Amino acid sequence: MEHVTRTDPFSFSVDPSTGIVTPHDNLIQRRLSHMNGMFMDQAAREAMLEVEDTLLYEVYEVEVPDEAGHLMVCTSITYPGKVGREYFMTKGHFHEKIQTAEIYSCLRGQGIMMMESDRGDWKAEPMTQGRAVYVPPYYAHRSINTGQEPLISLCVYPGGAGHDYATIETKGFRKLVLEKNGKPEIEDNPKWKSRI
Ligand code: M6P
Ligand code: ZN
């Protein structure tokens, strides 16, 4: 794969049906085995893992300098499926520089962007083709695929923002999105720990 750090003007293409960015520099693939303790139903996760280490989501990254002034750009593709009643989702993260925002422009699929601030405020916004979500500063964010096809977004965030995964890994999101009677429902996370 071509590996360059771009500082000159450039353009790239995004296939809205697959989320593949051309050209791209990195492809991140996250599987069930990478999501230890993140899904509510641990037994369902373990049973699935015995059969297959399912691919949950992919991220195609375009490499630009990871520093203030630049805009990091990538696509995220979350595949459809569930672990127990819980829909496939991204790990979710705060930005290391917590005062930085992000835009997710949804290109395909149906889902929910779950957002939660460091003060414990939360908001769930719909993700659907043609709709964009603004994740403000101080909000952790996780995309959740509640549909039958890949949930694809083009994401843009400030260079130098960084990813803080540890907070979500240890404390979780306050709310979960679970299937109930065939529909997504937002429920309290019994394991959530307040950050304050
Ligand atoms: C989006 C962006 C990326 C992020 C990815 C996957 O594409 O927010 O910065 O890495 O989603 O989410 P996560 O990092 O939480 O696994
Ligand atoms: Zn982010």
Domains of the chain: 13-188 (2.60.120.10)
Distance 135 CA to ligand 1 centre (A): 12
Ligand 1 and 19: CB distance under 6 A = no
3-state helix, strand, coil in the chain (%, to 5): 10, 45, 45
Distance 76 CA to ligand 1 centre (A): 7
Residue nearest to atom 7 of ligand 1 (CA): 76
Distance 116 CA to ligand 2 centre (A): 12
Distance 188 CA to ligand 1 centre (A): 23
- CA–CA dist 13, 16 (Å, integer): 9
Ligand 1 and 155: CB distance under 6 A = yes
- Reported as a single tens digit per residue, the pLDDT across 141-190 is 999 999 999 999 999 999 999 999 999 999 999 999 999 999 999 999 99
Question: Residue 76 CA: which ligand is closest?
Answer: 1
Ligand 1 and 76: CB distance under 6 A = yes
**Does residue 1 register a pLDDT over 50?**
no
- Reported as a single tens digit per residue, the pLDDT across 123-140 is 999 999 999 999 999 999
Distance 10 CA to ligand 1 centre (A): 22
End-to-end, the C-alpha distance of the chain in Å comes to 44
- CA–CA dist 70, 40 (Å, integer): 37
For residues 3 and 25, is the Cβ–Cβ distance under 8 A?
A: yes
Residue type, 89: M
- Reported as a single tens digit per residue, the pLDDT across 13-46 is 999 999 999 999 999 999 999 999 999 999 999 9
Structure tokens at 128: 């659907």
Residue nearest to atom 8 of ligand 1 (CA): 155
Q: Is 83 exposed, middle or buried (0-12, 13-18, 19+ CB in 10 A)?
A: buried
Single pTM value for the model: 0.96
- Reported as a single tens digit per residue, the pLDDT across 93-132 is 999 999 999 999 999 999 999 999 999 999 999 999 999 9
